[in-house]
Amino acid sequence: MAETKVSGRDYILLADIDGDGTFKPVACLTTNAFKSTNDTIDATSKCGNSYVPSPIFKQSFDAEGFAIDETGVASKDSYKALYTAHAAKTQFNMKMGKVTPTTGDVTYTGSVFISDFGVKADDKDDVKFTATFTAVTPPLTQTVTA
């Protein structure tokens, strides 16, 4: 089987914040990530080391980037939409993967809310925003394009 690599530039976050069924790019991202954590219960005793999975299972998408409008042009539209959704505690569908997946591509999809939102204004850099999109009810759906 041949190894296939996916360019990080092609693997983006898409959101359906307004609930119309259309997933739109979140922003011109400089970075995005998917994180999945199954907490651990330490059941270690004098009989030996032992660890078991906790009932707490957390998943999230993290992002940093510049705001864009629906056409991909730089603007403050996505920044405003994300902050509005964060402040209103809006739940919406999100996915991470290629915009147009091909055979073998993996996409993660599910309902999220914005648990963290920030704005970075570093010296000698453009203003960026950061956001954490937490899964409402993990696990997210993993789809492999056939």
pLDDT in tens, 64-122: 998 777 677 777 777 788 899 999 999 999 999 998 888 889 999 999 999 999 988 88
Long-range Cβ pairs for the range 75-78 (8 Å, 24+): 78/25, 78/26, 78/27
Number of structural domains found in the chain: 1
Note the residue count of the chain: 146
pLDDT at position 142 is 96
**Looking at the DSSP assignment, which residues form a beta bridge with residue 6?**
none
Cα–Cα distance measured from residue 129 to residue 141, given in angstroms and rounded to the nearest whole number: 26
Domain housing 12? 8-144
Q: Is residue 103 part of a domain?
A: yes
Summary mean pLDDT of the chain: 90
Residue 43 has pLDDT above 90, yes or no: yes
Q: Is residue 75 part of a domain?
A: yes
CATH of the domain at 111: 2.30.110.20
Structure-block tokens of residue 56: 């707490």
Q: Is residue 130 part of a domain?
A: yes
Cα–Cα distance measured from residue 134 to residue 132, given in angstroms and rounded to the nearest whole number: 6
Residue 2 has pLDDT above 70, yes or no: no
Residue 44 has pLDDT above 90, yes or no: yes
Model pTM? 0.86
Minimal CA–CA distance to 35: which of 108, 105, 87, 116? 108
Percentage with pLDDT > 90 across the chain: 60
Q: Is residue 2 part of a domain?
A: no
pLDDT at position 3 is 62
Q: Is residue 3 part of a domain?
A: no
pLDDT at position 5 is 77
Q: Is residue 35 part of a domain?
A: yes
